[in-house]
């Protein structure tokens, strides 16, 4: 049996949410998607999540969400993470006692899929536990659990750290996708031992922007070196970036993968 999985990059504010609403239903039909997982840390005007913004994308067809460093930006995000059965997870390598969970098993029909969220340490301001050792500990915890596949969202800044973790995990997980930089990479591939990989999924947000932010503000900051208010671009052409993977549920390995990039006007 094969499992068809769609992984959507960071959804940036209202334009990103509208693009998901406009494009996702047809994409799910076209690719016969069994489960759709999206990074939601930028849902609410670029930083954080709310019940309403999560509901918007989940009503459109997103089944589950990962996140990253901005998940704490709004108080409502902390309360969502503290729920008994949250629809979104946070990076697992935050210190003990932090609200939320860093991994979760989701059920698709008769199949169980383990979703893990990790965050990088290179050039990130947070002082986090080692993502490599955290992944080892999680995989050991679920060693005897029957799983159709294991998905890892690695929210990290540098290509080298993402590449290293992908190769470190090769053969032990189904796929590792990078998020956070909002710029899609063209290095999607199946690693030697069967793990699908891409350095960054890219964002779902206004294309003619600076990673989803109004470019005038960002350019002004570079020109003057003065503080700027970074507003989310609200209208224009939105790019939707995702990765479609097919998992062999007998082996838990990726057997096919392809980038998806669509555009719509909001």
Which residues touch 258 (CB under 8 Å, ≥6 apart)? 188, 243, 244
Location of structure tokens 């032990």: 172
Torsional sign, CA 45, 181, 203, 129: negative
Q: Has 182 been annotated as catalytic? A: no
Phi and psi angles of residue 216, each rounded to the nearest 5 degrees, phi first: -60, -40
Catalytic one of 45, 70, 143, 180: 70
Provide the 3-class DSSP secondary structure of residue 162: helix
What is the rounded CA–CA span in Å between residue 42 and residue 65?
Answer: 11
Query: What burial letters (b/e) apply to 80-95, b meaning 16+ CB within 10 Å?
Result: bbeeeebbbbbbbbbe
Cite the active site residues. 70
């Amino acid at each position: 049996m094969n499992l068809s999985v769609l992984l959507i990059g960071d959804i940036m504010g209202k334009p990103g949410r509208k693009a998901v609403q406009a494009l996702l239903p047809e994409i799910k039909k076209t690719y016969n998607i069994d489960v759709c997982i999206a990074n939601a840390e930028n849902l609410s005007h670029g930083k954080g999540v709310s019940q309403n913004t999560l509901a918007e994308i989940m009503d459109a067809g997103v089944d589950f969400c990962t996140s990253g460093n901005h998940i704490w930006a709004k108080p409502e995000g902390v309360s969502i993470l503290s729920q008994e059965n949250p629809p979104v997870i946070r990076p697992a390598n935050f210190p003990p006692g932090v609200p939320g969970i860093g991994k979760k098993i989701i059920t698709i029909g008769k199949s169980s899929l383990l979703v893990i969220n990790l965050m990088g340490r290179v050039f990130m301001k947070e002082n986090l536990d080692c993502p490599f050792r955290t992944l080892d500990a999680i995989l050991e915890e679920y060693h005897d659990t029957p799983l159709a596949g294991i998905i890892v969202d690695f929210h990290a800044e540098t290509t080298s750290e993402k590449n290293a973790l992908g190769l470190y995990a090769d053969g032990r997980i189904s796929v590792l996708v990078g998020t956070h930089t909002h710029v899609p990479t063209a290095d999607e591939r199946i690693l030697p031992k069967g793990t699908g990989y891409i350095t960054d999924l890219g964002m779902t947000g206004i294309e003619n922007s600076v990673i989803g932010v109004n470019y005038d503000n960002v350019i002004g900051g570079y020109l003057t070196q003065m503080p700027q208010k970074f507003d989310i671009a609200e209208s224009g052409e939105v790019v939707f970036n995702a990765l479609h993977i097919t998992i062999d549920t007998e082996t838990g390995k990726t057997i096919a993968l392809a980038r998806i990039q669509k555009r719509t006007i909001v």
